[in-house]
Structure 1
């Protein structure tokens, strides 16, 4: 495809700056990803010409196979950026069964020319010739598709003759030059084609060498300073996390003798940063410790840490540190460069090779959702978001030269690929594979340690009258939210690849019949009569609550007012009111009573006191104070002092009331999850059931079971993640 030596292209109020790789509208920057901008640039450079989908795919992704859906998505984004209108957009037109065409007149500005129309007659002549050629091409194609009437032809004839005479004059003067240029171009093209073909022939895809072979989860991995030995953390065959060492030339691994620990980073001087007693789950945390690579006891440094990385000289650590619900990036420890309050969180902190910047991943939503973007902060606390927001982003490291950041992310589904982005925000794909990749480390010679993951969120239920539990998952991300009072219906959402970018709400009968999709969002609670499902659409701004009918009917959006509600809710027994957890701007979370008849909400607990269980008479809510971490208590909705619940302990998750209206089901999370039945009047507490899948390998999390009041049915969610570690070579 022809390459023109111009640095900017102008049409209407838009300017496409090829050198700065940006689109401006009236002087204002319009955000586009690198591939979206490349798509626009190719279209503008070939304005008036129909570009086939194959041409565009080869031009925009020259060395990578991608689906046509990627191109269609870029076109859709560009149309929105250029004023919307879909297929009726005034700039980009779809040519049926062929491709796309940029139809607006475009002026090309030579390098160094900042004026919209150029500076002088030469630029003006270029503009006139370009517009004339564009008009001729467009008119010729449209006339081939639609015959023009005699009257229309008579009206268009003078202008057409003028353009034709101008074009003939230009071509006559340049005929000899064009002939010579054609011969030269042919010779250059043949030689260049041979060289390019040789280049493509010589370039091979990255090579993946499998390093681990046992069944379980590889949770982290790092190269040692010699870049030949690899230390990694793994949870094999359902056991706690432990440290192992291996080398590429051997399929065997050797245990280092440090159990219940998770590797975070290895300094150039050979010192490890590890998490002790790490709870490996959706968001890992533990006690940071440092220890020599050659052995010795770990020395504890800091509690409530989820990630850490060494400075280039090995003296300091950058950490992700949780303090009173706020996620803080500290470098060095104690010096806050950036912080993010709930529900957002930070991960994968990485200090630059020069020690002057810290990269990290920023996740704006709940800790069990890794949607987010690549970000950078300097030592003065100035933060910059480099990338677009991905449906999933995990794994981050500096490139060998320190001029790029390498990371694993997914733009559409959750099949994360390996990407690179420079400090100017220009993105490119390094490698992809079937499944989900997670980047752990990059060596000085450009090799990468990557895990290929197979994750699944599923549901297990025991239906009324059944003797055994049954797998009730629908797609690959079935997250249980509620069980109907009779145990016959499950409310859940699909949060993994099957649920798409925004998740989907479903119901399913416990007899195993097919699931029924209700709509977009994350499910929260099922009405007592089973007729309505409450859901929250977390990716709207602000997040919104929606009621979906489980049968015939229309969905209903609930106004939120000044309160932002979280993903925890319960119905009152009358099915006319909701118990919600939310917060007003700059205030602490509390419980609200939401009246569905008036769409009005009022607070019913003090700030900082939250809960999700309503008493059978609708007069009390079981809630706990987040600050003092006391056991849950019974709070009257009409005011007054809370009543202690004897037998309920700190850390208990209150599931709900029993069918006698007095006893409570509570759970202690873990693997297995333990469910107790408590009698608050007497303080009696007895184990009711332990629940867990029979196969615990790769299990990271079990939700507290949802139990029917009569105890005849229950269901719960599990999260299983299995992975293998690979050494990837040939990344460019």
Structure 2
């Protein structure tokens, strides 16, 4: 029976459902009276039984089907189901003899008899969901090392219960304790704050770390030879001194000041080897402590006693088999050991920091749809602190052990924020037009240091026939003072859609290439610049993800020639990627399936609401190869490329890429699916995906840029690339007390949501 009923509620319309006069909060596993009252928490299995009954509301569901759906691959007794139903009846206040909620059907099973209605959130509560995705290209080592963090927009995945409902966890991954802030839209205030650039040389200055008293700052500076060194200066605009002398091919990055103020830990990369190092603040020879996780560069943070470091392998790093979990390294032992805590195998946890009192570990969970979590320092079950679902860039504790400072993406910009972990209140600092990332907070005093990121994206046309000189002879399009990124060429080769901040805000732009004066934007629409727009094979319309002002994010169909944009009634609240299906009544949607994990759903949109036909987890993006009857998929945190048939069956691996994020640069061409990959002999390798990958491969050159997106023009056999040609970051300083300033405008208050 399971197969015939698979995915009937995939995805769910909301995290809350009203059943009779009760409201069920699915993430919290609580049932409460709709008019208020004490909630009753139920077990994970009882929730699974309830959601199965909801999927078949008003219809009998057999005990066999419930066993197969909720207890897959096990041999449960009848008692476990009886206990789950008894618990549900108790939570609903139901009477078995005169049921108002769950009716027992003799020799059949159970039936949900109460009316069911999903509780939809208000549009204003819809969180920010995404930031530009960058599939990093090979670049000089110092820039490549850090930009893997500054540009990565990766994602983590949903873990299904053996083919069951997508929001029921596996038995080995119990649902986390969710704080009150996770169940509601975050309360966000915005304040005006000014900052000072204390380091602003032409070369990039990155990853600041403040001394405990906030008087000094150490950071990594790119050298003239392409390497990187640590430099030290006062927390003001003064000349720095070199702490680790430059060496050919050596990159010293991601410093972290010790709690006692005497040492600095950092990552040193030489060739393909990465080591964790310690250097005295007074200068001298750096000492090796141990290897980096998976021999891949990542930031570290100190435990308050100064005896150990905490870290996590960076997302999109080397493909060595290291669990993307939090690890602890004792300095005396010099070996990383996984912290014992509850997590799903598909979670990607990163940027861990230990509170000054040593009680808590805070960290980011998952990537582009990320949030902040914390757990006791000894491990255990994490709790979710925010409900932002966006890209996060760095995390730091304040000295009061209550507040966290972090950077988050919102509508084309990256802002510094302060989170009150007790109330869930967030204060956002608005300071000019700069991106503020990777904060460091002094353990005493009032100082906050951070990166001021000023990169700019450009679109280039690359002629494939030019071979190894193609990148160096490419031509820049759409010159402007803002960033232009993620172009999408229509199949007929005449039109291009792209995103640009040239007007000061992020917009979707269109141009008919035959008429340069046709360039225009879609006013009132805010796109999510994660993937290029997806053109229909007819070249008449395209699909984009974004929102109109005052509305939540969703999927839109754009008719560029007529200037029309229409919201589609997709049930997903957090769409990430969308693709046309060869069947005009079907659509492929990648969306958040809970806690930042993604899944691909095949929809039948010929009826309302759209009907989910099938679902796959662990999918980041898709390319439809209609001629071969397959869908090619990139995976979220893996370099693997997989394929499936047009019904999402027969999933199999078909390829891998050198750089994990490059898998998302796949495009459909006249001769099949291709990817812009890299190998030791060529930085830009345009090659087929799958069998015969070396046949027809073309090397396009060795220009050292960062790839963000690619589209193929079939009419001229050219590529249009979105690249970052120059990376630059300065070091800024502001006061932590700036977050206590008056609101930025009269409308900003604790009730303002993103």
2:306 to 304, 308, 314: 314
In the alignment, structure 1 residue 299 sits paired with structure 2 residue 290: yes
In structure 1, the partner of 2:436 is: 437
Structure 1 residues 707 and 669: alpha-carbon distance in aligned structure 2, compared to 1, 3 A threshold: farther
1:98-113 counterparts in 2 under 5 A?
none
1:567 to 546, 562, 576: 576
Separation (CA, whole Å) in 1 of partners of 2:374 and 2:614: 37
1:31-70 counterparts in 2 under 5 A?
none
Q: Which has the larger radius of gyration?
A: 1
In structure 2, the partner of 1:470 is: 476
In the alignment, structure 1 residue 722 sits paired with structure 2 residue 714: no
In the alignment, structure 1 residue 355 sits paired with structure 2 residue 358: yes
Separation (CA, whole Å) in 2 of partners of 1:727 and 1:584: 38
Is residue 373–residue 382 contact of structure 2 (8 Å, CA) maintained in 1? Answer: no
Is residue 358–residue 378 contact of structure 1 (8 Å, CA) maintained in 2? Answer: yes
Is residue 612–residue 621 contact of structure 1 (8 Å, CA) maintained in 2? Answer: yes
Q: Secondary structure at the match of 1:231?
A: strand
Deviation, structure 1 residue 714: 1.9
Is residue 403–residue 418 contact of structure 2 (8 Å, CA) maintained in 1? Answer: no
In structure 1, the partner of 2:396 is: 397
Structure 1 residues 262 and 545: alpha-carbon distance in aligned structure 2, compared to 1, 3 A threshold: same
Structure 1 residues 383 and 499: alpha-carbon distance in aligned structure 2, compared to 1, 3 A threshold: farther
Q: Which has the higher helix share?
A: 1
Is residue 588–residue 600 contact of structure 2 (8 Å, CA) maintained in 1? Answer: yes
Is residue 634–residue 642 contact of structure 1 (8 Å, CA) maintained in 2? Answer: yes
Is residue 656–residue 709 contact of structure 1 (8 Å, CA) maintained in 2? Answer: no
1:41-440 counterparts in 2 under 5 A?
210-224=197-211, 229-235=216-222, 239=226, 241-247=228-234, 250-254=238-242, 256=244, 257=246, 259-268=250-259, 270-277=262-269, 289-293=276-280, 294=284, 295-297=286-288, 299-303=290-294, 306-321=298-313, 328-329=325-326, 333-337=337-341, 339=343, 348-361=351-364, 366-367=367-368, 379=378, 381=380, 389=388, 394-400=393-399, 402=401, 404-407=403-406, 414=413, 416-417=415-416, 419=418, 421=420, 423-424=422-423, 432=431, 435-438=434-437, 439-440=439-440
Q: Secondary structure at the match of 2:728?
A: strand
CA deviations over 1:257-278 (Å, ceiling 9, x no partner) = 4733422423235444434559
Structure 1 residues 345 and 335: alpha-carbon distance in aligned structure 2, compared to 1, 3 A threshold: closer
In structure 1, the partner of 2:496 is: 490
Structure 2 stretches lacking a partner, 5+ long: 1-33, 39-121, 126-191, 316-320, 330-336, 467-472, 739-754
CA RMSD of aligned residues (A): 5.6
Deviation, structure 1 residue 613: 2.8
Deviation, structure 1 residue 314: 1.2
1:585-624 counterparts in 2 under 5 A?
594=603, 597=606, 602-603=613-614, 612-615=622-625, 617=627, 619-623=629-633
Separation (CA, whole Å) in 1 of partners of 2:731 and 2:267: 20
Structure 1 residues 483 and 445: alpha-carbon distance in aligned structure 2, compared to 1, 3 A threshold: same
Deviation, structure 1 residue 355: 0.7
Structure 1 residues 440 and 544: alpha-carbon distance in aligned structure 2, compared to 1, 3 A threshold: same
Separation (CA, whole Å) in 2 of partners of 1:608 and 1:405: 30
In structure 2, the partner of 1:179 is: none
In structure 1, the partner of 2:697 is: 686
Deviation, structure 1 residue 251: 1.7
Is residue 214–residue 446 contact of structure 2 (8 Å, CA) maintained in 1? Answer: no
Q: Secondary structure at the match of 2:446?
A: coil
Structure 1 residues 445 and 577: alpha-carbon distance in aligned structure 2, compared to 1, 3 A threshold: closer
Separation (CA, whole Å) in 2 of partners of 1:208 and 1:648: 41
Structure 1 stretches lacking a partner, 5+ long: 1-24, 30-77, 82-204, 280-284
Deviation, structure 1 residue 353: 1.8
Separation (CA, whole Å) in 2 of partners of 1:232 and 1:588: 33
Structure 1 residues 426 and 579: alpha-carbon distance in aligned structure 2, compared to 1, 3 A threshold: closer
CA deviations over 1:154-191 (Å, ceiling 9, x no partner) = xxxxxxxxxxxxxxxxxxxxxxxxxxxxxxxxxxxxxx
In structure 2, the partner of 1:456 is: 456
Deviation, structure 1 residue 311: 0.8
Q: Secondary structure at the match of 1:617?
A: helix
Is residue 241–residue 261 contact of structure 1 (8 Å, CA) maintained in 2? Answer: yes
Is residue 677–residue 685 contact of structure 1 (8 Å, CA) maintained in 2? Answer: yes
In structure 2, the partner of 1:557 is: 568
2:510 to 488, 507, 512: 507
Residue range with higher mean Cα deviation, 262-271 or 619-628: 619-628
Is residue 215–residue 236 contact of structure 1 (8 Å, CA) maintained in 2? Answer: no
Deviation, structure 1 residue 300: 0.7
Q: Secondary structure at the match of 1:353?
A: coil
Q: Secondary structure at the match of 1:318?
A: strand
Structure 1 residues 526 and 475: alpha-carbon distance in aligned structure 2, compared to 1, 3 A threshold: farther
Separation (CA, whole Å) in 2 of partners of 1:612 and 1:410: 24
Is residue 329–residue 338 contact of structure 1 (8 Å, CA) maintained in 2? Answer: no
1:625-644 counterparts in 2 under 5 A?
none
Is residue 293–residue 322 contact of structure 2 (8 Å, CA) maintained in 1? Answer: no
Separation (CA, whole Å) in 1 of partners of 2:699 and 2:598: 32
Separation (CA, whole Å) in 2 of partners of 1:492 and 1:379: 47
Q: Secondary structure at the match of 2:666?
A: strand
In structure 2, the partner of 1:712 is: 717
CA deviations over 1:526-579 (Å, ceiling 9, x no partner) = 111222221235999997433233344662514448xx9863444356766545
Separation (CA, whole Å) in 1 of partners of 2:387 and 2:406: 13
Q: Secondary structure at the match of 1:555?
A: strand
In structure 1, the partner of 2:183 is: none
In the alignment, structure 1 residue 531 sits paired with structure 2 residue 540: yes
Residue range with higher mean Cα deviation, 678-687 or 435-444: 678-687
Separation (CA, whole Å) in 2 of partners of 1:583 and 1:427: 23
Is residue 325–residue 341 contact of structure 1 (8 Å, CA) maintained in 2? Answer: no
Separation (CA, whole Å) in 2 of partners of 1:278 and 1:349: 25
Deviation, structure 1 residue 725: 1.6
Is residue 455–residue 728 contact of structure 2 (8 Å, CA) maintained in 1? Answer: yes
Is residue 528–residue 573 contact of structure 1 (8 Å, CA) maintained in 2? Answer: no
Structure 1 residues 412 and 644: alpha-carbon distance in aligned structure 2, compared to 1, 3 A threshold: closer
In structure 2, the partner of 1:97 is: none
Separation (CA, whole Å) in 2 of partners of 1:640 and 1:591: 15
Q: Normalising by structure 2, what TM-score? A: 0.53
Between the two proteins, the alignment pairs up a number of residues equal to 514
Deviation, structure 1 residue 289: 2.2
Q: Secondary structure at the match of 2:338?
A: coil
Separation (CA, whole Å) in 1 of partners of 2:348 and 2:503: 22
In structure 1, the partner of 2:99 is: none
Separation (CA, whole Å) in 2 of partners of 1:208 and 1:453: 13
Separation (CA, whole Å) in 2 of partners of 1:271 and 1:357: 23
Residue range with higher mean Cα deviation, 647-656 or 353-362: 647-656
